[in-house]
Amino acid sequence: MENQNINKIYDQAMDEISSSSTSEKLQELKIKFLAKKSVLMSLLSTLGTLPPEERKAMGQRLNEVKAEISKAIEEKENELRKAEMEKKLKSETIDISLPSKKVELGGQNPFYVVKDEITDIFLNMGFEVADGPEVETDLFNFELLNIPQDHPARDMQDTFYISDSLLLRTHTSPVQAHTMKEANGKPIRIICPGKTYRRDDDDATHSHQFAQIEGLVIDKNINIGHLKATLELFVKKMFGEKREIRLRPSYFPFTEPSVEVDITCASCGGKGCSMCKGTGYIEILGGGMVHPNVLKMNGYDPDVYSGFAFGIGIERVAILRYGIDDIRKFYQNDVRFLNQYRKKA
């Protein structure tokens, strides 16, 4: 009779467990079937009234049922918990298209992008970076660079003067003289990026302030071939492997021979187009072999040492590279302009 009763309870418990849909309901069932005062447990307390031979079998049976009900409840609980978690997570779904919380890198005036990049190219070739004042003496800006007083070349560069002997440097070349004087006759391999000033009215292609990167190598047995190879390497790193360079004779008082360096036009690859005015080439920098007078004046014996020097216009490179149409844009710092450029790794 009890056995029948137990089976009935078992079936009822299993039914109710499987049909329950909340963990609250399961808690109720736990109490209903497994609490001390439940029907099942009350049967357990009546075990003592049974004859010993039945007591054992009955006890075993009761424990089995209790264990199975517990297990069923536990399984059901897990099932429900899982479902509830899924439901909760689903309700927490976010709109992944909303803006991120990153810290955006700052925009960088392309002037600096180019300046740093050129600097790094030469640093990797073993150059050091030298530095010199923007307010210069006539001595360093002109005299020591083989441009004596009243030299016609002074007309090439209209100069801002502070006094008869002080001026705003018109090029970064005075750093050549500073470096030579400091190096005291030892070999030199430097570049010097810096601001320069000329008395030009500002317009789309002229600026009273602009910047150059000066390069200077002095050692024994340096020749134009070394200049050519160094600049070739620079041009390929800066403008791409396909760019070629071409040297044209020119004139600077502090180099002899002097050259203008052209690179093959990026937009037509050398065939000739409107950007290069049909020539296939674009002028990007000037250079040459350091003039023996300059070596001599700055403490080097031109019979023992020779060297090459070059000057690159930073804005000019940026203008060519990024197609910037007006040099004044560099100095306006419109954030919509700055934010088009960021430092690349």
Partner 1 sequence: MLVSVKELKKYVDLEGLTAEEIAEGLTFAGIEVEEVSSLASGTHLVIGQIIECENHPDSDHLHVLKVDLGKEIKQIVCGAPNARKGLKVIVAQVGAKLPGGEIKLSSIRGVESHGMCCSLLELGVDAKYLNEKQTSGIEELPSDAPVGESDVLGYLGLDDQILNLKILANRPDLLSLYNVAKEVGAIFSRKVNIPTYSEKENFKTELKVGSETKRCSQFSGREIRNLKVKESPKYMKEALRSMGVRSINNIVDIGNYVMLLTGQPLHMYDADKLEKAELIAKDDKTIDFVALDEQTYKVIPGDIVITTNDKAMCLGGVMGSLECAVDEKTKNIYIEAASFDGASVRHTSSRLGLVSESSSRFVKGTNHFQGEEVIDFASHLIKENCEADKFSNIVTFQSEEKKDQIVKCDVSRINGRLGTEFSKKEIIDVLSRLHFEVKDEEKGAFLVKVPTFRLDISGEADISEEVIRILGFSHVKSVLPTLDVRVGGLSLRQSRLRKIRESLLNKGLDECLTYSLLSKENSTKFNLLNEEEHYVLLNPLTDEREVFRTHILYSLLEVASYNVNRQNKDLALFETSNMMSKSSRSEHLCVVLVGNELNRDIMNKTPYDFYHMKGVVENVFTLLGIESSRYRFDRYESNKEELHPGKSAKVIFQNKVIGVMGELHPNAKKEFGLAKLPVIVLEMDLEPLLEAKVSLVKMSPISRYPLVNRDLALIVRKEIEVIDIIKCIKKNGLGLIKEAKVFDVYEGENISRDFKSVAISISLGKEGTLTDKEITDVMDKVKYELNKAFDAELRM
Of residues 102 through 131, those in contact with partner 1 by CB under 8 A are: 102-109, 111-112, 116, 122-129, 131
Using the contact rule CB under 8 A, the part of the chain among 8-16, 22-30, 46-54, 221-229 near partner 1 is: 221-229
Kindly write out the interface string for residues 48-87 of this chain, putting x where it contacts partner 1 by CB under 8 A and - elsewhere: ----------------------------------------
Those residues with Cβ within 8 angstroms of residue 139's Cβ, 6 or more apart along the chain or in another chain: 165
What are φ and ψ of residue 344, in 5° steps? -100, 150
Least Å from the CB of residue 94 to partner 1 = 13
- Residue 241 has which token pair? 């492997």
Question: Which CA distances in Å does 55 have to 7, 51, 112?
Answer: 17, 6, 94
How many residues interact with partner 1 (rule CB under 8 A)? Answer: 86
Residue from 78, 133, 240, 325 that binds partner 1 (CB under 8 A)?
Answer: 133
Which of 177, 286 has the CB closer to partner 1? 286
**Polymer length in residues for the chain:** 345
Annotate 274-307 with b (16+ C-beta within 10 A) or e (fewer): eebeebbbbbbbbbbbbbbbbbebbebeeeebbb
- Is 281 strand, coil or helix? strand
x/- letters, 237..276, toward partner 1 (CB under 8 A): ---------xxxxxx-x--xxxx-----------------
Closer residue to partner 1 (CB): 32 or 228 = 228
Residue 234 Cβ vs partner 1, minimum distance, rounded to whole Å? 11
Print the binding letters for residues 186-215 with partner 1: x by CB under 8 A, - otherwise: -x-x-----x-x-x-x------xx------
Nearer Cβ to partner 1 (62/314): 314
185 contributes a contact to partner 1 by CB under 8 A: no
51 by DSSP, 3-state: which?
A: coil
Distance CA 188, CA 180 (A): 8
Out of 48, 51, 52, 152, the residue judged to bind partner 1 by CB under 8 A: 152
Structure tokens at 236: 């390929």
CB of 187 to partner 1, least distance (A): 7
Structure tokens at 92: 């927490």
Q: In the block, which residue shows the tokens 């925009």?
A: 107
CB 97 → partner 1: shortest distance, Å? 13
Residue 101 binding partner 1, by CB under 8 A: yes
Residues 286-345 that bind partner 1 (CB under 8 A): 289, 291-292, 306, 330-336, 338-339, 342-343
Name which of 268, 278, 275 is nearest 243 in CA terms: 268
User: For the chain, how far is it from start to end, CA to CA, in angstroms?
Assistant: 85
